[in-house]
Structure 1
Amino acid sequence: MDKSVIRFNHCDKDIFCFFVPDQCPECGVSFSGKRLEEAPVSIPNPFSNGHKVPCAFLVASTEDNVLRDFDGRSDLHTGITNTNGIVYNYTKAGVQREHQGWERCICVPLVQPDMFSLMSQWDQYLEKFSSAQMWDPLWQSFNEETHNCYSYTLTFINCVLATQSKRALSKDEFTQSFVLPRIKRASKYMMLCREISQNHFYIVDSPRRNSQESPSEDEDSKSN
C-alpha cells in the first residue's frame, strides 16, 4: 500500500510529508497546542487497482517495481476492463485477458453509472471486438508504432462511441484530454513520494504567499 501524501502550510511554505510532524521543519516552531495556518489535506493518490474499476481504460507501467514512475522513461501498457475487472490488453501474442497484474495503474472510467444499457452489453462488445481477425497475430502482426496496445484500446473506445452515435476520437484528442493530464498528475505524485522518502519532507513556497504579495507590491509602487 502507498503511504498517503499530506500537505500543510506553515511559514508561507507548502510542506508535503507522510505525516504531520511535531514541529515545523522550516522554522522549528513546535505545533504542540498551536493551530496550523491551514488544516492538513491529503493529496489524492492518482493510482487505482484496475481490477476494481469496471469498464475503464487503464494505463500501467511495464516496469514491475514499487515506484513506477510515469515520467517518460518507462514503457507504458494500456488495457480495457470488463464489468468484472478482467483486463483485456493487446500484446505480440494477441489479446490477453488478465485477472491480475494491473493493481496499480491510471484509470479512466468509460461508462457513467446511469448508462445501464451500455454496461449490460459491455462484456459482449469487448469479447466480440477482441476476437476480431485484426487482433489475431497470425493475421496481422503487432507493430510498435501502428498496431499496438494503444491502437487496440482506442479502436475499441471508438467502436463503443459509434454505438452511442458519437463521433470518433483521434489518438491526439484522447491522449491530450484523458491520458496526459492523469500521467502528469501521477508523475508529480511519484516525485513527491521520492522526495519525501529521501528527505522526509518536500517544501516549496506557497502559491498563496506569492498571490498575496503581488497587490502590496503594486500599492508600494503607486505610493512611491
Structure 2
Amino acid sequence: MDRSVIRLSHCQKEIFCFSVPDECPSCGEELKGSRLQEAPVSLPSPFTNGHKTSCCLLVAPAHDNISRDFDGTSDLHTGISNTTGVVYNYTHGGVRREQSGWERCVSVPMVRPDMFHLLAQWDRYLDRFSDGPMWDPAWHRFNEEDHNCFSFCLQFVNSVLAAEGRSSLSRETFTHSFILPRMRRVSKYNTLYEHIQRHQYYMVDRQVDRQEDRQEDTPVPS
C-alpha cells in the first residue's frame, strides 16, 4: 500500500481513487479544478511507523506472517514503544527491544502530550517491567492463550495505571475501547484500497455535513 487514497467531490458524489480521473465516473464531465466541489484531500492511512511513535501500543502482523499484511486472518503481534521509538515486545525468547521491524503498524497512543510526569517516567516503567521474572523464559514460558504478547502489553499498561493511582483495565475493556475501533478502520481501509486497485475508483453519494477525520467515515465497498 504505497499509494495514497484521495477523496474528491463532483455531481453530488464522493469519489475515492489514487489520482484525479480525467472525467467524472458518475456523469462523464471533464474534471477541472474549477469544476470540483472541493479540493481533493488524502484519506488518512490507518498505518504508522511504530519507530516514529512514543508511548504507544502497537499492533503489527506477526513475525511468521510472510506477507506482513493485515488481511484479517493472519496472526497479529503487539508491542509498546518507548519515548525514542524502541519497541518492547514479548516473544518465546523473552522481551525484545527492537529498533526496526515495526515500520507499518497500527498505533494506539497511551499517553497524552500534556502528561509530562508520565512521559518522564515511561521509559523507566517500561524497562523495569520488562526485566521482571514474569517475562523471563527461565521462569515463565510463553503461552499462546494466556501469557503472550498481548498479556505483556496489557499488564504493562495496568502497572502504569497502578503506579499513577488509577484503576486497571480488563482485557475485554482494553480490547473493545482501544484495539477494535482501530482494527475496524484498518479493515475498511484495506477493503477500499483493494476495490480501487481493481476498479480504479469507488463512488458514494456525497455527505453534505461530513465531519472530517472520523474513523468510521472510511467507506466500505459492497
Q: TM-score range by the shorter chain?
A: 0.7 to 0.9
CA gap of 1:156–1:28, structure 2 versus 1, over 3 A, is same
The separation in 1 between residues aligned to 2:191 and 2:33, in whole angstroms, is: 32
**Identity within the alignment, %:** 56
Q: CA RMSD in A?
A: 1.8
The separation in 2 between residues aligned to 1:208 and 1:54, in whole angstroms, is: 36
**Is the Cα–Cα contact under 8 Å of residues 61 and 77 in structure 1 kept in the other structure?**
yes
SS in 2 for 1:58: strand
Kindly report which structure 2 residues correspond to 1:1-224, keeping only aligned pairs within 5 A, or say none.
2-32=2-32, 34-62=34-62, 63-65=65-67, 68-71=69-72, 73-207=73-207
1:33 Cα offset (Å)? 6.4
The separation in 2 between residues aligned to 1:101 and 1:81, in whole angstroms, is: 12
The separation in 2 between residues aligned to 1:37 and 1:3, in whole angstroms, is: 23
The separation in 1 between residues aligned to 2:123 and 2:71, in whole angstroms, is: 29
The alignment of Structure 1 onto Structure 2 pairs a total of residues equal to 207
1:46 maps to amino acid: P
* Residue ranges of structure 2 left out of the alignment (5+ in a row): 210-222
Which structure dedicates a bigger proportion of its chain to helix?
1
**Is the Cα–Cα contact under 8 Å of residues 59 and 77 in structure 1 kept in the other structure?**
yes
Other-structure match for 2:216: none
Cα shift readout 1:100-137 (whole Å, capped 9, x = no counterpart):
00001111111122222211221111111011101111
2:52 maps to amino acid: K
Q: Which moved more, 1:21-30 or 1:97-106?
A: 21-30
1:81 Cα offset (Å)? 0.6
SS in 1 for 2:166: coil
SS in 1 for 2:79: strand
Structure with greater Cα Rg? 1
